């Protein structure tokens, strides 16, 4: 009532009068802003004066609101929650987050699509990013995964080319299946991932809630005695898996996934995922017919052990702070979880923190979304926007000054043997098609029909007949029925396909 009365004629012209329940508006230097509706002018008909510092600052800040979008996974949605451990996994890993049943660890999750821009439609034929940051009592641990258990390529050196071929094209700025399949036709290891991606249930999730997540790579778990075992992580949705058909995908709301996730969290219908782990000893990995560190492969037949459950229960208070500024990285590992020799993972260990130093600045780990709950104590210092207070002269180590950060020998990296000549050479056990065929044959008839329809819709647009035939020959090599049906649906030449597959 008081506010309404405060609007006299003057109030209508100049904005509301200040009331007791309002906060004084200030400039960024803390000085009061007197008028936030009218610029300072040189007389009633005169120009705006440069000395209107409040105006200049407001426009200058606005001009700089955008930061570079992620080079991939630009369109995303963040949510917060908690991970509750269900098993004592200390036999395999000294990571405390996996050690004590009932232990609660806060998490930040960011779901995303991969190839298109920050404001692009969410219903894209694209993997979905499934990045989880655990704020553990040993530092932040990130599983930066996707909703398929495998990936398109197996060596980081191919990643920029893979992305260029799949992102909006250099000339038209539109995604073009001609470029994507030109690339994939030369990369037969993509057959398994493409087969999963073009299904309805896995490839086109009906919501972020109704999809699984996978760490994809193997990681090295290390226990307190230094014993090692390799592990793959799998988030299983308690909501079950649900996909969209091609027709539903084409007509769905452009923001369907964010709307669904946030509406459910706000309504108290919190989505949950159970975290499962597969384990293999180095000797078991060695015996596989394929390379166990090849991220185009699943570890089929290896049992999964449940280690905990994640619940998403909060829409972050601010999109920019918890989604744009969130920085997930496969290199954010904690004692007890180390990298495997997976050649993709090895490249990712470098690329994420590198892009984040560019995208957010060198002190990005001080931002609210990225700041660990534990104290950060080291001699890294300075750089743009350093803001955590530092005291004293001892910005070096070793030192004799008491109270300084000290290294902890108990947390040395695990030791393991490596052998052989340096080389730039593809892996030996490639098996580019077998698991794609197994996956296809395990689908129901309806799922196979949908897969072929979805793939043909994109492959059918490829103008270069040779590229199309090579692509179909890859699926033919995975499974003869799959390739034959796809050749008919995408109008590829079955004789060429068979000849190529025979090679
Ligand atoms: C060598 C191969 C790869 C490279 C070089 C690479 C690089 C990148 C880069 C530069 C970003 C942007 C990060 C940022 O700006 O914060 C990113 C995001 C992401 N990548 Fe990768 N990537 C690779 C492979 C993969 C694989 C195999 C997966 C899944 C297993 C994956 C999942 C993700 C996810 C989920 C995000 C989004 C994280 C977020 O929500 O902020 N990437 N990747």
pLDDT tens string 38-75: 999 999 999 999 999 999 999 999 999 999 999 999 99
- Determine if ligand 1 sits within 6 Å of the CB of residue 352: yes
- Determine if ligand 1 sits within 6 Å of the CB of residue 144: yes
- Determine if ligand 1 sits within 6 Å of the CB of residue 262: no
Per the structure, the count of domains in the chain is 3
- Determine if ligand 1 sits within 6 Å of the CB of residue 145: yes
Q: Is residue 396 part of a domain?
A: no
- Determine if ligand 1 sits within 6 Å of the CB of residue 75: no
Let me know whether 47 and 92 are in one domain: no
Of all protein residues, whose CA lies closest to atom 25 belonging to ligand 1? 348
Distance CA 290, CA 497 (A): 25
Handedness of CA 243, 246, 252, 257 (dihedral sign): positive
- Determine if ligand 1 sits within 6 Å of the CB of residue 351: yes
CB under 8 Å to 208, separation ≥6 — which residues? 77, 111, 128, 257, 260, 261, 271
Residue 251 has pLDDT above 90, yes or no: yes
Q: Which of 351, 366, 381 is the last residue of a domain?
A: 366
User: Tell me: the pLDDT tens digits for 427-479?
Assistant: 999 999 999 999 999 999 999 999 999 999 999 999 999 999 999 999 999 99
End-to-end CA distance of the chain: give it in Å, rounded: 83
- Determine if ligand 1 sits within 6 Å of the CB of residue 359: yes
- Which residues lie across from 81 on neighbouring strands? 107, 312
- pLDDT score at 11: 45
> Ligand 1, residues 68, 107, 131, 144: which to mutate, most atoms within 8 A of Cβ?
144
Let me know whether 39 and 88 are in one domain: no
Ligand 1 atom closest to 131 (CA): 35
- Determine if ligand 1 sits within 6 Å of the CB of residue 151: yes
Of all protein residues, whose CA lies closest to atom 6 belonging to ligand 1? 348
- Determine if ligand 1 sits within 6 Å of the CB of residue 370: no
State in Å: Cα 104 to ligand 1 middle: 27
SS (H, E, C) 141-189: EEEEEECCCCCCCCCHHHHHHHHHHHCCCCCCCCCCHHHHHHHHCCCHH
Please state, rounded to an integer, the average pLDDT across all residues of the chain. Answer: 95
DSSP state of 203: T
Let me know whether 255 and 145 are in one domain: yes
Distance CA 451, CA 198 (A): 5
Let me know whether 304 and 241 are in one domain: yes
Residue 411 has pLDDT above 90, yes or no: no
Of all protein residues, whose CA lies closest to atom 30 belonging to ligand 1? 145
Q: Is residue 242 part of a domain?
A: yes
State in Å: Cα 6 to ligand 1 middle: 53
Environment class of 359 (CB within 10 Å of its CB; exposed 0-12, middle 13-18, buried 19+): middle
Q: Is residue 283 part of a domain?
A: yes
Task: Tell me the two tokens of residue 386.
Answer: 């350093």
Of all protein residues, whose CA lies closest to atom 1 belonging to ligand 1? 156
Q: Is residue 249 part of a domain?
A: yes
Let me know whether 358 and 233 are in one domain: yes
CATH of the domain at 299: 2.40.180.10
Let me know whether 35 and 122 are in one domain: no
Let me know whether 250 and 315 are in one domain: yes
Distance CA 453, CA 489 (A): 7
Q: Which of 366, 382, 397 is the last residue of a domain?
A: 366
State in Å: Cα 501 to ligand 1 middle: 33
Q: Is residue 415 part of a domain?
A: no
State in Å: Cα 72 to ligand 1 middle: 7
- Determine if ligand 1 sits within 6 Å of the CB of residue 79: no
| Domain span holding position 6 | 2-63
Residue 397 has pLDDT above 90, yes or no: yes
Let me know whether 456 and 308 are in one domain: no
- Determine if ligand 1 sits within 6 Å of the CB of residue 156: yes
Angle at the Cα of 109 from the Cα atoms of 195 and 119, rounded to 5 degrees: 70
- Determine if ligand 1 sits within 6 Å of the CB of residue 216: yes
DSSP-derived 3-state class of residue 106: strand
Q: Is residue 348 part of a domain?
A: yes
Let me know whether 271 and 238 are in one domain: yes
Q: What pLDDT band is residue 14 in, cutting at 50, 70 and 90? A: low
Let me know whether 208 and 273 are in one domain: yes
State in Å: Cα 124 to ligand 1 middle: 17
Distance CA 448, CA 485 (A): 10
Q: Is residue 421 part of a domain?
A: no
Q: What pLDDT band is residue 15 in, cutting at 50, 70 and 90? A: low
- Determine if ligand 1 sits within 6 Å of the CB of residue 72: yes
Let me know whether 32 and 142 are in one domain: no
Distance CA 281, CA 291 (A): 14
State in Å: Cα 163 to ligand 1 middle: 11
CATH of the domain at 452: 1.20.1370.20
Of all protein residues, whose CA lies closest to atom 12 belonging to ligand 1? 70
- pLDDT score at 16: 61
Residue 105 has pLDDT above 80, yes or no: yes
Q: Is residue 71 part of a domain?
A: no
Q: Which of 366, 385, 405 is the last residue of a domain?
A: 366
Let me know whether 51 and 146 are in one domain: no
Q: What pLDDT band is residue 407 in, cutting at 50, 70 and 90? A: confident
- Determine if ligand 1 sits within 6 Å of the CB of residue 131: yes
User: Tell me: the pLDDT tens digits for 349-373?
Assistant: 999 999 999 999 999 999 999 999 9
């Amino acid at each position: 009532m008081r506010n309404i009365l405060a609007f006299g004629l003057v109030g209508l012209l100049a904005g509301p009068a200040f009331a007791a329940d309002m906060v004084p508006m200030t400039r960024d230097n803390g000085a009061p802003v007197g008028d936030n509706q009218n610029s300072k002018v040189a007389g009633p008909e005169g120009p705006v004066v440069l000395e209107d510092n409040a105006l200049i600052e407001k426009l200058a800040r606005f001009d700089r609101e955008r930061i570079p979008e992620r080079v991939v996974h630009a369109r995303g949605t963040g949510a917060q929650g908690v991970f509750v451990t269900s098993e004592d996994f200390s036999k395999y890993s000294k990571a405390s987050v996996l050690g004590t049943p009932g232990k609660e660890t806060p998490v930040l999750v960011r779901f995303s699509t991969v190839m298109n821009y920050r404001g692009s439609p969410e219903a894209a034929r694209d993997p979905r990013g499934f990045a989880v940051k655990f704020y553990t009592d040993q530092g932040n641990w990130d599983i930066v995964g996707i909703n398929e258990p495998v990936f398109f390529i197996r060596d980081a050196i191919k990643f920029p080319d893979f992305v260029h071929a799949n992102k909006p094209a250099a000339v038209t700025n539109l995604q073009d299946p001609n470029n994507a399949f030109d690339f994939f036709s030369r990369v037969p290891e993509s057959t398994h991932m493409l087969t999963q991606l073009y299904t309805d249930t896995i490839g086109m999730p009906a919501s972020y809630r109704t999809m699984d997540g996978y760490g994809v790579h193997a990681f090295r778990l290390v226990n307190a005695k230094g014993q090692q075992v390799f592990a793959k992580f799998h988030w299983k949705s308690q909501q079950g898996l649900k996909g969209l058909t091609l027709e539903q995908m084409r007509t769905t709301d452009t923001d369907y996934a964010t709307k669904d996730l946030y509406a459910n969290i706000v309504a108290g219908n919190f989505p949950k995922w159970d975290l499962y782990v597969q384990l293999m000893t180095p000797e078991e990995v060695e015996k596989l017919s394929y390379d166990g560190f090849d991220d185009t492969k699943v570890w089929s037949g290896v049992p999964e052990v449940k280690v905990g459950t994640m619940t998403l229960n909060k829409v972050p208070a601010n999109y920019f702070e918890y989604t744009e500024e969130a920085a997930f990285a496969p290199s954010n590992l904690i004692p007890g979880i180390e990298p495997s020799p997976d050649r993709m993972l090895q490249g990712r260990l470098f690329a994420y923190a590198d892009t984040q130093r560019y995208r957010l600045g060198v002190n990005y780990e001080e931002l609210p979304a990225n700041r660990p709950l534990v104290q950060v104590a080291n001699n890294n210092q300075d750089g743009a926007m350093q803001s955590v207070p530092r005291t004293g002269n001892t910005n070096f180590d070793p030192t004799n000054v008491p109270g300084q950060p000290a290294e902890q020998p108990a947390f040395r990296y695990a030791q393991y043997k490596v052998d052989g000549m340096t080389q730039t050479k593809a892996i030996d056990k490639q098996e580019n098609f077998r698991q794609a065929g197994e996956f296809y044959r395990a689908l129901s008839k309806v799922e196979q029909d949908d897969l072929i329809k979805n793939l043909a819709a994109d492959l059918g647009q490829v103008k270069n007949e040779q590229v199309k035939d090579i692509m179909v020959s890859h699926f033919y090599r995975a499974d003869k029925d799959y390739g034959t049906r796809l050749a008919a649906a995408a109008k590829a030449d079955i004789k060429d396909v068979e000849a190529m597959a025979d090679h």
